Amino acid sequence: MEHDAPIFVVLLGPPGAGKGTQAAHLCERMGISHLSTGEVFRHVICERTSVGLQVQSLVESGQLVPDDLVVKVVEEFLDAAGANGACFDGFPRTLEQAHGLDRVLASRSESLSAVVVLQLDDEKAVQRMVARGRIDDNKSTTQHRLKLHHETAGVLIEYYGDRDLLKYVDGDADIATVGQRVGRLFAGERR
C-alpha cells in the first residue's frame, strides 16, 4: 500500500548504537529527510542565518544550545526539507525538545509516526565507540556520554511510551541486519 502522508520518525539509542547510519538508510529507503542536529547546526552556521549566528556564538563559547533554539533550527529544517517527512537522529535530547517537536509538527497538522529505540548494552556501546577511533571516543568520555544518555533517554522513552509510539530494535548486529530490522517496522509505508 502506498503511503502519501509525511512520515516522521525519531531514532533513540545510546552512543555507538548506529543511529546516524540507520537513519541514513531509513531515509533513503523511505524517501524522507535525515535530520542530524550536528549536521544541521553546521549547515545553519555556514549559511550565516540569524539562527545560525546564535548557534555559532553558543557553540564557540562552549555552551549548550538551549532547547528553544534547537527546536527553531529543527523547524527551519522542516520548512526547507521536511515535506515528505524526516528521521530525527540526535533529536530530541530533552523532554522540552520533545514537546517542541510535537508543537512544530502539530502546527503542520502532522505528528510522529514512530520512535525507534536501538537497543545496545553499555559494554558493546563502549566497544563500538572506542573502535570508531574518534578523538573524543576514549573510554572515560564514552562512559560519561552513556551516563548522560541513560539520564535523558529514560525520560523520553517514558514520554513516548505513554503515547504508544515506541518500537524496539536489537542493535547488537551488523549494520545490514539492524537495517533490515528497522526497515521491517515500516514495510509497506513507502517505495
Res. 129 pLDDT band, cuts 50 70 90: confident
Q: What is the pLDDT of residues 136-166, one digit of tens each?
A: 667 778 888 888 888 888 999 999 999 999 9
132: helix, strand or coil? helix
Instruction: Quote the pLDDT of residue 1.
Output: 34
What CATH topology corresponds to 7-185? Rossmann fold (3.40.50)
Q: pLDDT above 90 covers what percent of the chain?
A: 61
Q: Do residues 13 and 91 touch, judged by C-beta distance below 8 A?
A: no
> Across all residues in the chain, what is the average pLDDT?
89
Give the CA angle between residues 111, 114, 118 to the nearest 5°: 145
Distance CA 107, CA 85 (A): 14
Task: Specify the DSSP element, H or E, that contains 164.
Answer: none
Res. 2 pLDDT band, cuts 50 70 90: very low
| 3-class secondary structure per residue, 10-27 | EEECCCCCCHHHHHHHHH
Instruction: Quote the pLDDT of residue 139.
Output: 74
Q: Is the pLDDT of residue 20 over 80?
A: yes
Residue showing cell 545490514 = 176
Res. 74 pLDDT band, cuts 50 70 90: very high
